[in-house]
């Protein structure tokens, strides 16, 4: 049975996941992918059923103080589900796959180029969502402009841009990547990489940065969350939303705005400098990234963004644990110099002894694999099931809430995970979480 | 040594246009030796992206030396175009031969000789840590001396990356102009997952090529690319067509949907039924069927290696006296055409010339 099933939200029976306490709605809400895809066949005479599609669910303001709080009692055998069929959807020449990740801008999904069979990732941007983000539309425009020009092995490639005026959506088609360093770090023991692995990534980060700086582009948001890996472990710098192209004729690399993630900002930005060297901002952030990858910690910590920026502003990074070795420690401390002028250039870093020698994998250390909670171990294409649906029609599969509970009970160990919740619900949870945490204007949290 | 100078070559005729119009293959005579050669002329201006691929092709071929791999003689730039000189394979490519003379496929013994020689080439390539990634009839060239040579090395990939030997590769070969190359690629290569693919991927392609040679038509031709992909991923294997494939006669519609040739004749219902009759009449050896099954296994680890395959019983039928050109007697060598010649002398803009589009002759 396909676990990604449609979920009915009603208060008469508690759902197997506690996260749903937030949702108390009188009407039945069923995510509806498209016209006839997702029918929930209950007893219509007893309920008023409202059909919503994913977009509408995003919009839906599920405030608990809604006027109509009315509870129905529904027998579990009366609630009939149809397994979520993988309805094949095309955008241009691309076949849509599953969601790879979600950002504040919208979803990132996997796609397959139906002509070349090349796997791709697509960033789906909704105009409506963009407008709610400070500088949202502007950042996207800048990102597209920059990515169109940039071409380097360690910089994400923008393959195609498509617009759907009717749906007010924009699709940025990119190279397919299997993992984000951030996710891999989070899933690894000690939230860090073996030095050998961190070294492999750092070298590639340096190559990418060297190219970007040579092209007069300051990324300004280097962090593990913006470093992706392809199938063959090539690192790709992504997210040029806050990047800045320097004036070609300017001899300086002066920048005026910093919009990056607080934990990776240098002291000059934390202290609110009006102008600063762009290149050295990326050096600093790369230093924090290396620090984080090799120690699992951050050089500066704070209970909240303000405390954090205060600590950064003082510019006294916590020394890395001695286990990293003196060689790496000197490099980290050099990159995290309070004074931007004292920080090394990319070329200087490349000449550093820690960078030149590839560290050996210590006994007992194992490389951290690219992970994603949504994919299988091999990161196989998620488009295949949609193609199967398209090319070999399969009969619908119906089951009731009662069957489902029965099966879950029998299965014993099998419990519903958040990954199995419908996407619409998880976005809803995320959005609430986002809006509840403090933000600096024009600052993004990791 | 061949001189990299256009004045030493006398172009005699046009053999084919290829690579979606960015290159033309001529037959020519190298004047100092009075030796026939083939010259591939690339209009580099037309596609700048491809320039690096051509460069890769030349570098790879310079590195390789094997009797069953098309050698590289020399190359030079003249005007805006790049010329690459190779020996002339004057019976053309297997694809041309199938299209023009053997729509129902080549005789079994001819298939055996060609497959053996291509396996020798692959055995060599794999030893050099190359994956060919483009084993197909249009990349297998024949001449009147019975030589079989593998070409199409611009899609080849080295397993040595930045000095380190890789166990797997992950990326698709560079896309060709019509994406036709995908039909020959293995399921694990097309899947593009963390398992990657290795040289056993070429063995699968050889299996598709084996069906192509024997059946005349390319398996999965005429089905949507995405269906071809799902079919392969789900493990469906193309088959050699003979009386065992058709225990009961199929109706025309069914036949047409299963296998379709892209030659002019095959497209008509009449052509299809004629082909079907030809398949139903013949019986291919059990060893041949066994070989194709072995090659086309879904799991790359189960496929025998090139070296193991050379000992397959199927190749035991080849006698030392068997001569390939006489087994495929319908094929005539490419001859210089005087009419073509005068046109050649006049032409400056090659694009204005009439070139037979149906030929696939990739060097």
ipTM of the shown complex: 0.86
State chain B's mean pLDDT as an integer.
Answer: 86
Q: Which of B38, B74, B51 is nearest to B149 (CA)?
A: B38
Q: Is B226 on the interface with A (CB under 8 A)?
A: yes
Q: In the prediction, which pLDDT does A103 show?
A: 73
- Residues near B294 by Cβ (< 8 Å), separated by ≥ 6? B207, B303, B304, B309, B312
Confidence class for position B339, pLDDT limits 50, 70, 90: low
Question: Residues of A annotated in the binding site for ATP, as ranges?
Answer: 123
The yes-or-no verdict on residue B141 having pLDDT over 60 is yes
Confidence class for position B143, pLDDT limits 50, 70, 90: very high
Determine which one of A113, A207, A221, A239 is catalytic.
A221
Q: In the prediction, which pLDDT does A55 show?
A: 54
Return d(Cα B71, Cα B74) in angstroms, integer.
Answer: 9
For B303, counting Cβ atoms within 10 Å of its Cβ (0-12 exposed, 13-18 middle, 19+ buried), the class is buried
Query: With an 8 Å Cβ cutoff, are A116 and B234 in contact?
Result: no
Q: In the prediction, which pLDDT does A406 show?
A: 64
Min mean pLDDT across A355-364, A384-393, A423-432, B283-292 is at A423-432
For residues A48 and A77, membership in a common domain is answered with yes
More confident residue, A31 or B49: B49
Give the number of residues written for chain A: 446
For residues A45 and A117, membership in a common domain is answered with no
Return d(Cα B241, Cα B104) in angstroms, integer.
Answer: 9
Q: In the prediction, which pLDDT does B362 show?
A: 60
For residues A159 and A193, membership in a common domain is answered with no
Min mean pLDDT across B90-104, B241-255, B259-273, B280-294 is at B259-273
State chain A's mean pLDDT as an integer.
Answer: 76
Q: In the prediction, which pLDDT does B186 show?
A: 97
Q: Which domain holds residue A120?
A: 90-175
- Asked, for residue A375, whether it belongs to a domain, the answer is no
Q: Report the largest interatomic distance among the alpha carbons of chain B, rounded to a whole angstrom.
A: 61
More confident residue, B255 or B303: B303
- Asked, for residue A99, whether it belongs to a domain, the answer is yes
The yes-or-no verdict on residue B249 having pLDDT over 70 is no
The torsion angle over the Cα atoms of residues B263, B268, B274 and B276, rounded to 10 degrees, is 80
Q: In the prediction, which pLDDT does A260 show?
A: 77
Q: Is B179 on the interface with A (CB under 8 A)?
A: yes
- Asked, for residue A384, whether it belongs to a domain, the answer is no
Would you give the distance in Å from CA B352 to the centre of its chain? 27
For residues A219 and A344, membership in a common domain is answered with yes
Query: With an 8 Å Cβ cutoff, are A388 and B170 in contact?
Result: no
For residues A163 and A57, membership in a common domain is answered with no
Return d(Cα A240, Cα A345) in angstroms, integer.
Answer: 21
Q: What's the number of domains chain A is made of? A: 3
Q: Do domains B6-90+334-345 and B93-327 have the same CATH topology?
A: no
- Asked, for residue A404, whether it belongs to a domain, the answer is yes
Q: Is B158 on the interface with A (CB under 8 A)?
A: no
Give the dihedral sign, CA B319/B292/B106/B244. positive
Q: Which residue has the tokens 């050669």?
A: B37
Confidence class for position A30, pLDDT limits 50, 70, 90: very low
For residues A198 and A304, membership in a common domain is answered with yes
Q: In the prediction, which pLDDT does A400 show?
A: 66
% of chain B with per-residue pLDDT over 90? 63
**Which residues does chain B have within 8 Å of residue A100's beta carbon, measured at their own beta carbons?**
none
Q: In the prediction, which pLDDT does A9 show?
A: 32
Min mean pLDDT across A149-158, A300-309, B211-220 is at A300-309
Fold adopted by B93-327? Transferase(Phosphotransferase); domain 1 (1.10.510)
More confident residue, A127 or B111: B111
Domain B6-90+334-345 class, CATH top level: alpha beta
The yes-or-no verdict on residue A431 having pLDDT over 70 is no
Please report, in angstroms and rounded to a whole number, the separation of the first and last CA atoms in chain B. 20
Confidence class for position B54, pLDDT limits 50, 70, 90: confident
Which backbone phi and psi does A158 adopt, to 5 degrees?
-90, 115
Q: Is B71 on the interface with A (CB under 8 A)?
A: no
Partner residue facing B230 (CB), from A178, A379, A384: A384
Is A160 marked active-site?
no
Query: With an 8 Å Cβ cutoff, are B225 and A117 in contact?
Result: yes
DSSP state of A370: P
Query: With an 8 Å Cβ cutoff, are B224 and A114 in contact?
Result: yes
For residues A130 and A236, membership in a common domain is answered with no
Highest mean pLDDT among A217-226, A240-249, A424-433: A217-226
Q: In the prediction, which pLDDT does A156 show?
A: 96
- State the CATH number of the domain containing residue A321: 1.10.510.10
- Residues near A282 by Cβ (< 8 Å), separated by ≥ 6? A209, A212, A213, A218, A219, A220, A222
**Which residues does chain B have within 8 Å of residue A179's beta carbon, measured at their own beta carbons?**
none
- Residues near B326 by Cβ (< 8 Å), separated by ≥ 6? none
Give the dihedral sign, CA B158/B164/B170/B175. negative
% of chain B with per-residue pLDDT over 70? 86
Q: In the prediction, which pLDDT does A59 show?
A: 54
For residues A161 and A300, membership in a common domain is answered with no
For residues A107 and A206, membership in a common domain is answered with no
Q: In the prediction, which pLDDT does A401 show?
A: 66
The yes-or-no verdict on residue B190 having pLDDT over 50 is yes
- Asked, for residue A104, whether it belongs to a domain, the answer is yes
Q: In the prediction, which pLDDT does A14 show?
A: 36
Query: With an 8 Å Cβ cutoff, are A114 and B190 in contact?
Result: no
Q: In the prediction, which pLDDT does A445 show?
A: 36
Q: DSSP readout, B153-184?
A: GGG-EESEETTEE-S-B-SPPPPPTT-GGGGG
- Asked, for residue A1, whether it belongs to a domain, the answer is no
- Judge contact between B260 and B267, C-beta under 8 A: yes
The residue among A145, A175, A205 that closes a domain is A175
More confident residue, A227 or B245: A227
More confident residue, B270 or B311: B311
């Amino acid at each position: 049975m396909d676990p990604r099933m449609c979920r009915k939200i009603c208060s008469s029976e508690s759902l197997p996941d506690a996260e749903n306490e937030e949702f108390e709605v009188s009407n039945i809400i069923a995510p509806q992918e498209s016209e006839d895809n997702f029918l929930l066949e209950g007893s219509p005479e007893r309920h008023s059923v409202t059909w919503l599609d994913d977009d509408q669910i995003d919009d839906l303001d599920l405030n608990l103080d809604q006027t109509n709080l009315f509870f129905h009692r529904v027998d579990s055998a009366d609630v009939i589900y149809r397994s979520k069929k993988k309805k094949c959807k095309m955008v241009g020449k691309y076949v849509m796959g599953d969601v790879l990740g979600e950002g504040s801008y919208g979803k990132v999904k996997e796609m397959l180029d139906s002509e070349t069979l090349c796997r791709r990732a697509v960033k789906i941007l909704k105009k409506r969502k963009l407008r709610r983000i400070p500088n949202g539309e502007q950042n996207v425009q800048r990102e597209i402009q920059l990515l169109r020009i940039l071409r380097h092995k360690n910089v994400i490639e923008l393959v195609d841009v498509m617009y759907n005026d009717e749906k007010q959506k924009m699709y940025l088609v990119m190279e397919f990547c299997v993992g984000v360093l951030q996710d891999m770090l989070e899933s690894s023991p000690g939230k860090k990489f073996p030095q050998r692995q961190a070294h492999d990534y750092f070298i590639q980060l340096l190559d990418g940065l060297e190219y970007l700086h040579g092209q007069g582009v300051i990324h300004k948001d280097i962090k593990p969350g913006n470093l992706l890996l392809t199938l063959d472990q090539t690192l790709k710098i992504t997210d040029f939303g806050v990047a800045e192209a320097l004036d070609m004729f300017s001899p300086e690399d002066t920048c005026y705005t910093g919009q990056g993630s607080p934990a990776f900002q240098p002291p000059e930005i934390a202290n609110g400098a009006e102008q600063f060297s762009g290149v050295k901002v990326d050096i600093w952030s790369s230093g924090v990234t290396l620090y984080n990858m090799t120690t699992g910690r951050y050089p500066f910590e704070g209970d909240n963004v303000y405390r954090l920026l205060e600590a950064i502003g003082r510019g006294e990074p916590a020394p890395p644990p001695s286990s990293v070795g003196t060689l790496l420690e000197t490099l980290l401390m050099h990159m995290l110099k309070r004074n931007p002028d004292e920080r090394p250039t990319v070329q200087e870093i490349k000449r550093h002894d820690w960078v030149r020698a590839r560290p050996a994998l210590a006994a007992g250390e194992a490389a951290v694999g690219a992970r994603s909670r949504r994919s299988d171990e091999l990161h196989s294409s998620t488009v295949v099931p949609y193609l199967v649906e398209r090319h070999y029609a399969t009969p619908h599969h119906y089951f009731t809430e009662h069957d489902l509970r029965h099966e879950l009970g029998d299965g014993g160990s099998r419990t519903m995970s958040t990954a199995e919740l419908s996407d619409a619900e998880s976005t809803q949870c995320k959005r609430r979480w986002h809006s509840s945490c403090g933000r600096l204007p024009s600052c993004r949290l990791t | 040594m061949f001189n990299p100078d256009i004045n030493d070559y006398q172009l005699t005729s046009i053999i084919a246009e290829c690579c979606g119009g960015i290159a033309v293959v001529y037959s020519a005579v190298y004047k100092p030796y009075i030796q026939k050669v083939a010259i591939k002329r690339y209009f580099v201006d037309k596609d700048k992206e491809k320039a690096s691929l051509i460069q890769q092709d030349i570098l790879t071929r310079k590195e390789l030396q094997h009797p069953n791999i098309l050698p590289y003689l020399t190359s030079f730039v003249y005007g805006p175009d790049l010329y690459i000189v190779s020996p002339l394979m004057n019976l053309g490519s297997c694809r041309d031969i199938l299209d023009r003379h053997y729509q129902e496929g080549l005789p079994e013994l001819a298939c055996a000789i060609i497959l053996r020689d291509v396996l020798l080439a692959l055995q060599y390539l794999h030893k050099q840590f190359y994956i060919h990634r483009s084993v197909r009839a249009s990349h297998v060239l024949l001449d009147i001396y019975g030589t079989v040579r593998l070409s199409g090395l611009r899609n080849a990939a080295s397993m040595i990356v930045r000095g380190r030997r890789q166990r797997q590769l992950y990326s698709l070969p560079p896309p060709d102009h019509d994406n036709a190359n995908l039909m020959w690629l293995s399921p694990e290569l097309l899947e593009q997952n963390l398992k990657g693919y290795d040289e056993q991927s070429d063995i699968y392609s050889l299996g598709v090529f084996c069906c192509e040679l024997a059946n005349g038509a390319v398996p999965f031709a005429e089905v949507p690319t995405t269906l071809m992909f799902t079919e392969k991923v789900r493990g469906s294997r193309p088959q050699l067509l003979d009386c065992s494939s058709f225990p009961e006669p199929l109706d025309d519609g069914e036949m047409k949907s299963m296998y379709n040739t892209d030659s002019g004749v095959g497209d008509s219902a009449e052509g299809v039924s004629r082909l079907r009759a030809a398949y139903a009449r013949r019986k291919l050896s059990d060893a041949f069927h066994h070989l194709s099954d072995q090659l086309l296994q879904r799991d790359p680890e189960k496929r025998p290696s090139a070296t193991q395959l050379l000992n397959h019983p199927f190749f035991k039928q080849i006698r030392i006296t068997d001569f390939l050109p006489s087994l495929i007697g319908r094929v005539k060598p490419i001859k210089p055409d005087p009419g073509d010649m005068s046109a050649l002398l006049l032409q400056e803009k090659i694009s204005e010339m009439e070139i037979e589009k149906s030929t696939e002759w990739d060097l």
